[in-house]
Structure 1
Amino acid sequence: MEKSGPSSTISEQQLQRQEGWSNTKTDLAEQSLISSEKWLQLHGLKSNKLTLKQILSQIGFPHCEDYVASLGRPVASRYADGLFPQLYRAEDGRVYNLTAKSELIYQFVEHLTQAVESYKQRMDWLTSKSRQIFGVILEQCVTIVLDFGGILEGELDLCREALTMVLQEQVAHITKFNIIRVSQEPVKWQENATPVTEQSIATAISWVEKLTVELTVSEAGRLDALLEAGRDKTIESIYYFVVGDVPEESKELLLQRALEIPCPVHTVSFNARGEGTIAFLKDLSAKTHNRFHAFAERTECVEFPAFSTKDGDNVMTWNSRKLKGKLPPGAGVREDVFLVWREMEEACSTLAQIQRLVAEPPKPDMATVDCGAVPSFKSSGKIVFCLCDMLASPAQSQKQPLLRLHRIQKTPGTLRRGCRNMA
């Protein structure tokens, strides 16, 4: 397609978008303090004008139609028939007349390809290392409450490793933190939340590595630890890390008293044996309007479908991650991952449609119209008006196109017309 389009304004937008995608590749370590919802507000298709509807409005314009009362139905305008390549958008049933040069469409192909890669990186980041085990810490000041009441023999080392990863990869990037262990009496690492430093992280890891298994935990012990964490007015939220199952006799009391805790309580299930614990922790999070995360250990690798890059030559897969865990039954889909996956699916669909425009551009009945070649109109002594994107000179190719209104009058044996610019 060699039609001219609004290339000058688009070029600046494309440059800004290019810089935005580059930034997403370098700030992955800093994304722990932003939810997927907010991340998509910055890097999503809509905010970057990359939805199919937004792209079509930048490379063409909708074909107009109006309601004809005598026919009792909408009738499409015929002013552009044969003048422009057209694209039908199945989502809303609209037809778009395409006016952009292929170079501009190639730019959108490139930006959509970068968007897909960015979403893939985000999903990979969300489902790897400590974020797969613990979810994503979004606050600056937190207390982690450890409930080892349902731990099995041999799981302690795994728990220590998991908590060490959380401290190194996530807590190290926030402001203040504390750790409290559920016991007959709450066992606190520090009296109150402590500023994050290299030394405090190292001390906390050393404390975690010395944790031992406690055979019995009282019903009140869990609630006491959560209430103790809530008494620290400097923290923004509590992360309740539960290993194994929560006894039935403790659930009702926890549900009733959790609402008394002044700060949010996010729940993390680690190696739950039954769906009852998963359901309980999800319910606890829902009633306090907070987040739930679940993890179950596994050793086998999960096969993901292959992902092809834009040129089709370099095929990438996610299988190299060798995941250590999975979502347990009843946990449902992780919302933060689902939001990004849904955006990536839309980006892939839009990319495929835009790629088809440059691979096999729609062929109009008449590709171009100039002042020396007037199309044939089936009219008899009538005045016909048509719009085209004629440019007065090549120098205007970098500017907004001029729309010219052609007044065409058919007289016996000749066609006469006069043109006047519409800026």
Structure 2
Amino acid sequence: MEKSGSSSTTSEPQLQRQEGWSNTKTDLAEQRLISSETWLQLHGLKSNKLTLKQILSQIGFPHCEDYVASLGRRVASRYADGLFPQLYRAEDGRVYNLTAKSELIYQFVEHLTQAVESYKQRMDWLTSKSRQIFGVILEQCITIVLDFGGILEGELDMCREALTMVLQEQVAHITNFNIIRVSQEPVKWQENATPVTKQSIAAAISWVEKLTIELTVSKVGCMDALLEAGKDKTIESIYYFVVGDVPEESKELLLQSALEIPYPVHTVSFNARGEGTIAFLKDLSAKTHSRFHAFAERTECVEFPAFSTKDGDDVMTWNSRKLKGKLPPGAGVREDVFLVWREMEEACSTLAQIQRLVAKPPKPDVATVDCGWSVILQSQKQPLLRLHRIQKTPGTLRLGCGNMA
């Protein structure tokens, strides 16, 4: 259906937007280690003029109405009745007269489709490999404090693999780093944060691979390690990687030491057994204006054969790349994932409305996009919002909420 009015010629802003979306994969590769808020400022609907309101202003104009005193209510003008196709925008109750040709509307369908795909890619990236285990490192100079005090037999290899992933996939892309292990006395990999190079990453991985389990660690060991990390004036933040549960007698000491440190103390929980540890680490992060992340590994670990990297220089197992897990009870939804999911939900809704302008209305309960993600509202002691992948069905929008016992 062709709509009279504006020309179908692609404007310069539209060409720029088209070029921007065509470079989505490049942008994702370059902008990975940034927060979801920053990522959405670059790739969100509003910044690309793809919100429903922004699109409608480019393909039409709002239908005018005015207050008629004799009737005591607002009355819409009738000058456009039958002249323009119209669209009702439920968000503000306004009616828009559409003047654009179908070619221009098809361009917006394409841009929105590409936007949905980029959001799916971002969520896949956030919930895979080292980001699933550790979250996303946002600073350029950090110290990682390792607390293995609650580690169980058999978990050490998995911790080594997890930390190796973090070093290779994230730390390798920042500028300076250090590692300190909680012990009777803090064990430092380097005296202070050292520049990131291929050699320093390889040396750090070798150091991590030699870590062993210490059977007895004093209750002040974790506090001493954090305070030692805080002495380095070159760092921007500390990442406190905790395996298992935090002993009750250490919690108050940990909180006190974290509050004394002039840097954010981001907490990462690995395989916590109880919700008390999760609640404590979330509280510690909140009080230090830091971020919290949690990961619970699945019980079975599938063994994978060794393989060579693309460069052919190293041989490693794929065990580290196949860590599978979930958010532990009490962890709540990951905010960085939720923000992108919410943007994708808006994009799917807008896309469905714009598609209806150039095609026959879809059948009831069937939309024209499959976003591939859903949100489940799980009732426990308190509702827990969870994101998870769902089976794709071509042509069906499977994005919604539900209750899980």
Alpha-carbon deviations, 1:229-269, whole Å to 9, x = none?
Answer: 11101111000000000000111121123111011110000
2: CA distance, partners of 1:194 / 1:414: 51
Is residue 36–residue 337 contact of structure 2 (8 Å, CA) maintained in 1? yes
The alpha-carbon distance between structure 1 residues 213 and 238, as it changes in their structure 2 partners (threshold 3 A), is: same
Is residue 375–residue 401 contact of structure 2 (8 Å, CA) maintained in 1? no
Measured after TM superposition, the shift of residue 69 of structure 1 is: 1.8
Is residue 82–residue 364 contact of structure 1 (8 Å, CA) maintained in 2? no
The alpha-carbon distance between structure 1 residues 58 and 403, as it changes in their structure 2 partners (threshold 3 A), is: farther
Is residue 5–residue 401 contact of structure 1 (8 Å, CA) maintained in 2? no
Is residue 404–residue 422 contact of structure 1 (8 Å, CA) maintained in 2? no
Alpha-carbon deviations, 1:291-329, whole Å to 9, x = none?
Answer: 000000016899999999999999999999976010000
The alpha-carbon distance between structure 1 residues 306 and 226, as it changes in their structure 2 partners (threshold 3 A), is: closer
The alpha-carbon distance between structure 1 residues 60 and 414, as it changes in their structure 2 partners (threshold 3 A), is: closer
Unmatched 5+ stretches in structure 1: 373-391
Greater mean deviation of Cα atoms: 112-121 or 297-306? 297-306
1: CA distance, partners of 2:250 / 2:387: 78
The correspondence of residues 316-395 of structure 1 with structure 2, limited to 5 A, is 324-360=324-360
Unmatched 5+ stretches in structure 2: none
Greater mean deviation of Cα atoms: 358-367 or 218-227? 358-367
The alpha-carbon distance between structure 1 residues 412 and 77, as it changes in their structure 2 partners (threshold 3 A), is: farther
SS in structure 1 of the partner of residue 32 of structure 2: helix
Greater mean deviation of Cα atoms: 288-297 or 5-14? 5-14
Specify which of 396, 399, 402 is matched with residue 417 of structure 1.
399
Aligned to 2:280: 280
RCO comparison, higher one (Cα < 8 Å, 6+): 1
* Superposition RMSD in Å: 16.5
The alpha-carbon distance between structure 1 residues 293 and 346, as it changes in their structure 2 partners (threshold 3 A), is: same
Alpha-carbon deviations, 1:68-96, whole Å to 9, x = none?
Answer: 12211111111111110111111111111
2: CA distance, partners of 1:307 / 1:344: 36
Is residue 143–residue 229 contact of structure 1 (8 Å, CA) maintained in 2? yes
Measured after TM superposition, the shift of residue 17 of structure 1 is: 1.1
Measured after TM superposition, the shift of residue 361 of structure 1 is: 8.4
Is residue 5–residue 59 contact of structure 1 (8 Å, CA) maintained in 2? no
Is residue 145–residue 225 contact of structure 1 (8 Å, CA) maintained in 2? yes
Measured after TM superposition, the shift of residue 219 of structure 1 is: 1.7
Alpha-carbon deviations, 1:345-403, whole Å to 9, x = none?
Answer: 1101111111111003899999999999xxxxxxxxxxxxxxxxxxx999999999999
1: CA distance, partners of 2:263 / 2:384: 60
The alpha-carbon distance between structure 1 residues 272 and 394, as it changes in their structure 2 partners (threshold 3 A), is: closer
The alpha-carbon distance between structure 1 residues 370 and 66, as it changes in their structure 2 partners (threshold 3 A), is: farther
Is residue 145–residue 238 contact of structure 2 (8 Å, CA) maintained in 1? yes
Greater mean deviation of Cα atoms: 180-189 or 66-75? 66-75
TM-score (norm 1): 0.79
Q: How many residues align?
A: 404
Aligned to 1:404: 386
The alpha-carbon distance between structure 1 residues 81 and 319, as it changes in their structure 2 partners (threshold 3 A), is: farther
Measured after TM superposition, the shift of residue 22 of structure 1 is: 2.7
Is residue 86–residue 364 contact of structure 1 (8 Å, CA) maintained in 2? no
Is residue 332–residue 385 contact of structure 2 (8 Å, CA) maintained in 1? no
Where in structure 1 do 4 or more consecutive aligned residues deviate above 4 Å? 4-10, 299-323, 361-372, 392-423
Greater mean deviation of Cα atoms: 27-36 or 213-222? 27-36
1: CA distance, partners of 2:235 / 2:171: 13
1: CA distance, partners of 2:148 / 2:132: 19
Is residue 379–residue 404 contact of structure 2 (8 Å, CA) maintained in 1? no
The alpha-carbon distance between structure 1 residues 314 and 337, as it changes in their structure 2 partners (threshold 3 A), is: farther
SS in structure 2 of the partner of residue 2 of structure 1: coil
Greater mean deviation of Cα atoms: 312-321 or 47-56? 312-321
SS in structure 2 of the partner of residue 357 of structure 1: coil
Is residue 405–residue 419 contact of structure 1 (8 Å, CA) maintained in 2? no
The alpha-carbon distance between structure 1 residues 414 and 132, as it changes in their structure 2 partners (threshold 3 A), is: closer
Aligned to 1:311: 311
The alpha-carbon distance between structure 1 residues 411 and 334, as it changes in their structure 2 partners (threshold 3 A), is: closer
Measured after TM superposition, the shift of residue 16 of structure 1 is: 1.1
The alpha-carbon distance between structure 1 residues 167 and 71, as it changes in their structure 2 partners (threshold 3 A), is: same
The alpha-carbon distance between structure 1 residues 233 and 67, as it changes in their structure 2 partners (threshold 3 A), is: same
| Identity level (%) | 93
Is residue 368–residue 396 contact of structure 2 (8 Å, CA) maintained in 1? no
Measured after TM superposition, the shift of residue 9 of structure 1 is: 8.1
Is residue 377–residue 401 contact of structure 2 (8 Å, CA) maintained in 1? no
Greater mean deviation of Cα atoms: 288-297 or 26-35? 26-35
The alpha-carbon distance between structure 1 residues 265 and 315, as it changes in their structure 2 partners (threshold 3 A), is: closer
2: CA distance, partners of 1:223 / 1:298: 30
SS in structure 2 of the partner of residue 263 of structure 1: coil
Aligned to 1:271: 271
